[in-house]
A and B are shown apart, each in its own frame.
Chain A
Amino acid sequence: MSNPEHVHDDAVDTTGHTTGQFTDPGLPSYHRPRQGDVDPKAADKYERQVAVLFGISILGTVMTIWGYLALDKSEDVAAIRTMNMVLGTGIFLAMIGIGLGAIHWAKTLMRDHEMVEERHELRSSDEAREGAIQNLKDGAKDSGIGVGRRGLLKGSLITALAVAPLSLLFPQIGNMGGDWNISQFRHTMWKKGTRLTRDPDGTPIKASDVTIGSVFHVIPDGLNDLEHGRLEEKAKAVVLLVRIDPRQLNIVPGRENWSFDGIIAYSKICTHVGCPVALYEQQTHHLLCPCHQSTFDVANGAKVIFGPAKRPLPQLPIAVDSDGYIIAQDDFDEPIGPSFWDRLKGSTAAAEGSAA
Chain B
Amino acid sequence: MKSLARRRYHKSAPVILVLALLAALTTIGAFAAPSRAEAATASTSDIAEGQKLFAANCATCHGLSAQGQDGIAPSLIGVGAAAVDFQVGTGRMPMQVSGPQAEAKAPQFNQDQIDQLAAYVASLGGGPAVPTAAMVDPALGNPAVGMEIFRTNCAMCHGSVGGGGALTQGKFAPNLWKTTNTHIFEAMLVGPQSMPVFNDANLTPEHKRDIIAYLDAQKAGSPGGLKLGTIGPVAEGMWGWLIALGLIIGSTVWIGARSS
Contact = CB atoms under 8 A, between A and B. Distances in A.
A124 interface: no
Contacts of A279: 156-157, 167, 173
B197 A213 contact: yes
Interface string B217-228: 000111111000
A283 B190 CA distance: 13
| Closest 9 pairs between A and B when the two form their complex, measured CB to CB | A209-B201, A215-B196, A281-B194, A77-B220, A80-B223, A278-B156, A213-B197, A107-B259, A282-B196
Interface of B: 148-149, 152-153, 156-157, 165, 167-168, 171, 173, 191, 193-199, 201-202, 220-225, 254-255, 258-260
Nearest to A289: B156
B22 to A, nearest CB: 26
Contacts, number: 92
A31 to B, nearest CB: 11
Nearest to B193: A283
A107 B201 CA distance: 71
Given A77-B223, A282-B195, A217 B153 contact: yes
Nearest to B159: A290
A212 B202 CA distance: 12
A291 B147 CA distance: 22
Contacts of B223: 77, 80-81, 84
Interface in A282-341: 282-284, 286, 288, 290, 293, 295, 306
Contacts of B197: 211-215, 282
A198 interface: yes
Contacts of A214: 191, 196-199, 202
Interface of A: 34-36, 76-78, 80-81, 84-85, 88, 103, 107-108, 198-200, 206, 208-217, 242, 276, 278-284, 286, 288, 290, 293, 295, 306
Interface of B is mostly: loop
21 contacts: A34-B260, A36-B259, A78-B221, A81-B223, A84-B225, A107-B258, A200-B148, A209-B202, A213-B196, A214-B199, A215-B153, A279-B156, A279-B157, A279-B173, A280-B196, A281-B194, A281-B196, A283-B193, A283-B194, A284-B168, A293-B168
A69 B191 CA distance: 50
A165 B224 CA distance: 49
Contact of B168 (A35, A80, A276, A288): A288
Contacts of A293: 168
Contacts of B195: 282
Contact of B225 (A85, A198, A242): A85
Most chain A C-beta atoms within 10 Å of own C-beta, residue among B152, B167, B171, B223 = B223
Given A81-B225, A283-B193, A198 B202 contact: yes
A211 B200 CA distance: 10
B167 A35 contact: no
A177 to B, nearest CB: 34
A206 B255 CA distance: 68
